[in-house]
Structure 1
Amino acid sequence: MILLTQRLRRDGVQLLVWILATAALCFSATAGVNEAFAAESERRTLLAVALANPTILLFRGLPFGTSEGAFLVFTILPFLVLLGALMASFLAVRHVRAEEESGRADAVSATPAGRRAPFVATVVHGILACVLLGTATAVAFIAAGLEAGGSIALGGALAASAAVFLGVGLVAAQLFRSSRAANSFSVGVILSAFLVAGIGNALGTPSDDLTRMESSGLAWVSPFAWAENVRAFADDAPGPILLAVGVSAALLTVAAALQATRDLGAGVIAPRPGRAAASALLSRPFGLAVRVSAGSLVAWVVGSAVVGALSTSLGDVIDEIATQNPAVTEMLDRLAAQGSMDQGLVVTFFVMVGTLAACFGVQTVQRARQEETHGTAEQTLATPVARVGWLGAFLTTALGGIVVIVAAAMAAASLAVFARGGDPAILGDVVVAGAGQILGAAVFPVLTALVFTLLPRATSTLGWVLVIAAASLALFGTLLGLDEDVVSLSPFAATPVPDADGIAWNGSAWLIVLTVAGVASSLMLMRRREVATGG
């Protein structure tokens, strides 16, 4: 009980802000959707467009009706599950692996609490956070005027899916020796699940009236699809919630078994032994930054390559499935004059690539903070290494990694075009969309560096919040009825994109100015900032 109280006190403000912000988003989204799509005919038209152009479903929810509640779930649920997944997985890693890294877990295990009590306290703490998140969202929807039954079903789906990723985070904390690796693994699982659910929905079977989609079998691999197939405000099916609860219990059991068998401070996966002598690369700050970021860069490159390949290879499959329904064929003919479906698919997928690249950039700059809190930065800066050069090395690695990640996606997209014998003209769209996302993604490590120099303790939280907020604004802002000027505040939405007339440059100028000014400002501030020696 003491350990649980300690965790609740430590995370109180952070979890409260996260949960209340999610609830506020639910309340405001309900008002926004109802205002933008007040008439059922408007909602029916948009659902028909989504089912006729399934690329929309890759980053939206699952259509299953035209009621206000069902339409709201379609527009916002995947993002709510994403927020819950990140909250739960970060909580798990923070209270297990990060505690062992800092040495605090060793001190606690030396008391009568032993090794098992802290793990149990983390599990209870995480489940409480998931339940509170689900409860807060249900209350927000009820307060916004939606029916109680559907609101409770939606809250239950959100809580259960978040609990699944709590289990993912706890298992990752057992597998890897560092919190950095555990968080990277968890985020990779979350993003993969998000993408699999979107593809599974896009490959599903639409109804004849174009108001409902049945997920394909692929979607059922993902907890995101389990939450969506509850179909809150329509079916309120309890089966997917029970499935999520069962998988969560299984993951928690696996994590507990691994916790009981491994050594404290060690991971199930042993780290690769280092060399007896350091290479010349490690004699400079840049080489060190590259070395500690290399493993995660490989993971982000692989993920972005998969997304890039899908951007040019999935169009034919989706088009074939969609045109099997006469109503879909008719709607596609109406949409033909509004732009290329393949072009829209490339732009949408490369927003996800930009998000992945931005995540790597933020993660790399956050390593500077980790080096600082672990005390290794102080040792490095005690040598002739300057503060500006030290932070500049992490920034350079972050920006260079972004270019590599997006380039990998562009290369994979190009290879997919040639492999399927597609139209080479789409390669121009790939280049424009990819180059644009490099500009958008570069903003985030720069902003994170600014936070690091001004508010060091907020580096991790604000870095991830900025990426999540910007990605959600770019992917969901239009459907939530937000003005285009508001959506364009997201760097991911302000990038150059291909259109019917060539290239729409959008806000590329201010992205460049913001990045350059941010780099200069963060390096200048670092010269005058004291180096911290603790968290």
Structure 2
Amino acid sequence: MSTLTGTRHLVRLILRRDRVLLPLWVLLLAVLPMTYATSFFKLFPTDAERAAYAAGTARNPSIIALLGPVYGDSVGALTAQRGGFLLVIIGLVSLLTVVRHTRTEEEAGRRELLGGTVLGRYAGLTAALLVTYGADLLLGLLTAAGLISTGLPAAGSLAYGLSAALVGIVFATVGGLTAQLTETAGGARGIAIAVLGLAFALRLVGDTASNDWPSWLSPLGWAPRIRAYADERWWVLVLPVALSVLVAAAAYPLSVRRDLGAGLLPPRVGPATAGQALSGPFGLAWRLHRGQILWWSVGFGLLGLILGGAAKAAGKSVEGNPQLEQIMARLGGTSGLAEAYLGSTLSLAGLAAAGYGIQAALRMRSEETAGRAEPLLATGIHRSGWLLSHLLFALLGPVVVLAVTGFATGLTYGFSVEDVPRELPRMIGAGLAQVPAAWVLAGLAVLLYGLLPRLAGVAWAVLAVCVLLGQLGAVLELNQWLLDLSPFTHTPQVLREHWSATPLWALAALALLMALTGLTAFRHRDVPVT
């Protein structure tokens, strides 16, 4: 039997299981760069306007830290820089996909069942990598095709698309390696995300320093140095390919040297008996969710520091462009361009916090499918208490994350305008104003879990639609009824002098209604649902 026997069947299984999620993130991430290019063509029709914008961006270390360097002032160069943070998202999604189809499968016991069939030693890891590699390459080609369709040069579009695909391939391979190190999926994800964070930190330091050598140590730093639309340097593409080969060469031997279900790193030995905090469902839920809340808060706190530091310069960079001023005003809801920028970025943070709420709500589904919910509910724990314990963190998480984001943003922006006492509470309030809309999506996830648990993942598709409407709506001037489909459209623009809290109460009530409906449905259905 070959070491790759059964790989084709596992690939088909993964494609079957990810038939909704995989096309969703590929299409979403492929469309966004095209929308950036379209908006730049519309907002900066003259060379002088583009040059002024590029010069302002190049002088702002906070924007460079977040997006990366800009090479030139063409629409293509501006688009490549604007899509810089998408590379982080592509890397994150890729590594999570590989970990889910390797270590998570082992942790749930499904890989052991498959291993009882005719299955080669390398089949599982190879199938996960092949599917993710294929998705990344398709993403890169669709991105290039979309950019070409906007009128950008084919060479630069292909360079940007390939750079995005190779970033995903590198971190997919990192996910394959970390899946061999720990016996839990959470540990593998944590190590892989830490590697991604280190890569981002190296790129940030290198791009903002006088000497950019740290950026050459990071896969995220290699992508912009291909210089799409600015005399492309194709040889840089060799670097992520070589790194992927080296990481894969380490992952494959490790995958067969360890026991199935175990990791190479020794597990941390816990106490012999559970503490009092784990005697009830809320203590258990806190144990399961605390790590996510912590790391989301740390990540968004750092993001808020960068966004707040960039706000003042971002406002100045668009002065004199009436079209861009109008777009920013629609996004942020204020005549001050810096505050419009902050309003738009905090709205994006709200969308991301909604992702946390969905993830926390769907933890119930993963607990059920893994077989841990059924024996727990067979004890004296009531169904309502178990669901409410997870719902608490699905609702509390967005509050904490957005409060931290607003605090960090207000702190750095307040220092930049020398008025911290005024700006700090305003930005915290602007961040918390996004909470009810995030709750709506978390409530939707609970509703689907209670009524139609197999379709609970549709909540992610709804979030993707909200992201697209938020990114495309103001730029393409979509019909208002279409924009109203997103709960974030109804979030009041609290940075204005006058605003109404009525939409916030309405969104919170809608979220509560969906969550209670899901709770009622869950109490009357079978557990587990297979």
Same fold (TM over 0.5): yes
Read off the aligned partner of 2:164 and give its amino acid letter.
L
Which residue of the partner structure matches residue 211 of structure 1? none
Where do residues 339-354 of structure 1 align in structure 2 (5 Å cutoff)?
Answer: 339=336, 341=338, 343=339, 347=343, 350-351=346-347, 353-354=349-350
Q: How far is 1:394 from its partner?
A: 0.8
Choose the corresponding residue for 1:374, options 370, 374, 379.
370
Read off the aligned partner of 1:8 and give its amino acid letter.
V
Distance 1:187 1:494 in 2: 33
Range that drifts further, 482-491 or 422-431: 482-491
Q: How far is 1:378 from its partner?
A: 1.5
Of all paired residues, the percent bearing the same amino acid is 31
> Could you tell me whether the CA contact under 8 Å between 1:61 and 1:76 is conserved in 2?
no
Choose the corresponding residue for 1:281, options 267, 277, 280.
277
Q: Does 1:272 align with 2:268?
A: yes
Distance 2:202 2:483 in 1: 25
Distance 1:180 1:464 in 2: 20
TM-score normalized by the length of structure 2: 0.79
Read off the aligned partner of 2:386 and give its amino acid letter.
W
Cα deviations by residue, 1:396-423 (Å, 9 ceiling, x for unpaired) = 1221233333444455567778999863
Q: Does 1:64 align with 2:61?
A: no
Q: Does 1:300 align with 2:296?
A: yes
Which residue of the partner structure matches residue 237 of structure 1? 233
Choose the corresponding residue for 1:164, options 167, 170, 180.
170
Where do residues 479-518 of structure 1 align in structure 2 (5 Å cutoff)?
Answer: 480-483=475-478, 491=487, 495-496=491-492, 499=495, 501=497, 508-518=504-514
Q: How far is 1:266 from its partner?
A: 1.7
> Could you tell me whether the CA contact under 8 Å between 2:466 and 2:486 is conserved in 1?
yes
Read off the aligned partner of 1:266 and give its amino acid letter.
A
> Could you tell me whether the CA contact under 8 Å between 1:33 and 1:480 is conserved in 2?
no
Distance 1:32 1:450 in 2: 36
Q: How far is 1:237 from its partner?
A: 1.9
Distance 1:36 1:409 in 2: 29
Which residue of the partner structure matches residue 328 of structure 2? none
Distance 2:440 2:197 in 1: 21
Distance 1:288 1:348 in 2: 36
Q: How far is 1:10 from its partner?
A: 2.1
Distance 1:455 1:76 in 2: 36
Q: How far is 1:189 from its partner?
A: 5.4
> Could you tell me whether the CA contact under 8 Å between 1:432 and 1:498 is conserved in 2?
yes
Aligned length: 511
> Could you tell me whether the CA contact under 8 Å between 1:52 and 1:329 is conserved in 2?
no
Read off the aligned partner of 2:234 and give its amino acid letter.
P
> Could you tell me whether the CA contact under 8 Å between 1:470 and 1:490 is conserved in 2?
yes
Read off the aligned partner of 2:436 and give its amino acid letter.
L
Range that drifts further, 106-115 or 147-156: 106-115
- Superposition CA RMSD, Å: 4.3
> Could you tell me whether the CA contact under 8 Å between 1:75 and 1:479 is conserved in 2?
no
Distance change >3 Å, CA 532–CA 406, structure 1 → 2: same
Choose the corresponding residue for 1:129, options 131, 135, 152.
135
> Could you tell me whether the CA contact under 8 Å between 1:307 and 1:349 is conserved in 2?
no
Cα deviations by residue, 1:371-430 (Å, 9 ceiling, x for unpaired) = 111112112222343433322221112212333334444555677789998632221223
Distance change >3 Å, CA 272–CA 93, structure 1 → 2: same
Distance 1:283 1:121 in 2: 40
Distance 1:290 1:37 in 2: 49
Secondary structure of the structure 1 residue equivalent to 2:523: helix
Cα deviations by residue, 1:294-316 (Å, 9 ceiling, x for unpaired) = 2222222332333344455x359
Read off the aligned partner of 1:155 and give its amino acid letter.
G
Secondary structure of the structure 2 residue equivalent to 1:175: coil
Distance 2:303 2:35 in 1: 31
Distance 1:307 1:372 in 2: 34
TM-score normalized by the length of structure 1: 0.78
Choose the corresponding residue for 1:262, options 258, 261, 274.
258
Secondary structure of the structure 2 residue equivalent to 1:424: helix
Unmatched tracts of structure 1, length 5 or more: 206-214
Distance 2:303 2:439 in 1: 19
Where do residues 206-217 of structure 1 align in structure 2 (5 Å cutoff)?
Answer: none
Unmatched tracts of structure 2, length 5 or more: 326-333
Distance 2:358 2:506 in 1: 20
